[in-house]
Amino acid sequence: MELTTVWFILIAVLWIGYFTLEGFDFGVGMLLPVLSRNETERRVVINTIGPVWDGNEVWVLVAGGATFAAFPEWYATLFSGFYLPLLLILLALIVRGVAFEYRAKQDSDTWRARWDLAIFVGSLLPAVLWGVAFANIVGGVPIDADKEFTGTIFTLLNPYGLLGGLTTLLLFLTHGAMFLALKTDGDIRHRARALSVKLGLATAVVAVVFLGWTQLDTGDTWSALLFAVAAVALLAGVYAAQLGREGWAFLGTFVTIALAVGGLFVALFPDVMPTTLADGVSLTTTNAAATAYTLKIMTWVAVVFTPIVLGYQAWTYWVFRKRISVHHIPADAQPITHV
């Protein structure tokens, strides 16, 4: 197997890791004002992702760095053409991270409410915009013979792209609800589980339409298989949630997102960014790749450090595996006033 193909697969794995892990982070952030009834419950909801949200974001940093090093032409065209949505995603992630750290700095309901709104918006924007971006990457955008994006922000806001945004929004909401049902106890757990069933059914309809559209446009046999199994996994997860089996339910949405993202990359290959222009040039794993020597060095670095990163993150989830409830939140806890 050529190193260009190896790195295309590795980048796909990085995005799968990001969406499956950060996906429930986004879902939890968006559900914060929906499932919590008071400050104690809001702290429970935030604490479910408190130990892991920043580690989950590392996946997107590594995916971006790997794209820059392995496929510089892809990186250049993507980040120049998708500059505004990617900038909005970056700003949203920054504001969201600051909100997690600063909402407890003052003992004020107004102060906390504003930061909670920042968490909600900072989770909502990436949840939608990542779907819009990936739908356009797979569906194709105007790229000329000089490998430059010639469209505008409105080019990306096409029906297929917007449907992709709606799909990721609903998937992450469902994933987040499943995670909260798995990680909490008491009233929040029951509310999250009931909501996950409703969200899951709506998500299944929208996701099937989006993945079916993708399959008709660019898919092949392997992507069709991945999409079909993803749909089955989602329905199985919803059924498990209805039965009160939160662990299996969360696994269902986890597998759904992993297979759906994997199917998108399969449908994209060997392109990395197809053009919609008749006289344009599609970026492929061949014409967008770095030199063979660069790819060889990167491969050895990945072989050494990837197991270390995976082991550390798995250990983090194991340490913080227990459920959280309102009785774990001290009633007289004081807000943090210093770093």
Report d(CA 81, CA 153) in Å as an integer: 8
Q: Give domain status of residue 236, yes or no.
A: yes
Q: Mind listing the pLDDT tens digit for each residue in 230-252?
A: 999 999 999 999 999 999 999 99
Distance CA 271, CA 273 (A): 6
Domain assignment present for residue 264? The answer is yes
Q: Is 272 among the domain residues?
A: yes
Q: Quick check: is 333 in a domain? A: no
Can you give the pLDDT at residue 337? 36
**For residue 258, is pLDDT > 50?**
yes
Q: Which domain holds residue 73?
A: 3-328
Average pLDDT estimate for 167-175: 97
Q: How many domains does the chain have?
A: 1
In this predicted model, what pLDDT tens digit does every residue of 284-304 receive, in sequence order? 999 999 999 999 999 998 888
DSSP code per residue over 58-103: HHHHHHHHHHHHH-HHHHHHHHHHTHHHHHHHHHHHHHHHHHHHHT
Answer yes or no: is 339 within a domain: no
Burial tier of 130 (Cβ tally within 10 Å: 0-12, 13-18, 19+): buried
Pinpoint the alpha helices (H) of the chain: 3-35, 39-49, 53-70, 72-81, 83-102, 109-139, 153-156, 159-183, 187-218, 221-242, 246-268, 292-319
In a domain, 107, yes or no: yes
| Domain-embedded: residue 338 | no
The per-residue pLDDT for range 94-134, each reduced to its tens digit, is 999 999 989 988 888 899 999 999 999 999 999 999 999 99
Over the stretch 15-74, which tens digit does the pLDDT of each residue have?
999 999 999 999 999 999 999 999 899 999 999 998 888 888 889 999 999 999 999 999
pTM of this structure:
0.92
53 domain residue, yes or no: yes
Distance separating alpha carbons of residues 91 and 52, to the nearest angstrom:
20
User: How many CB atoms sit inside 10 A of residue 227's CB?
Assistant: 25
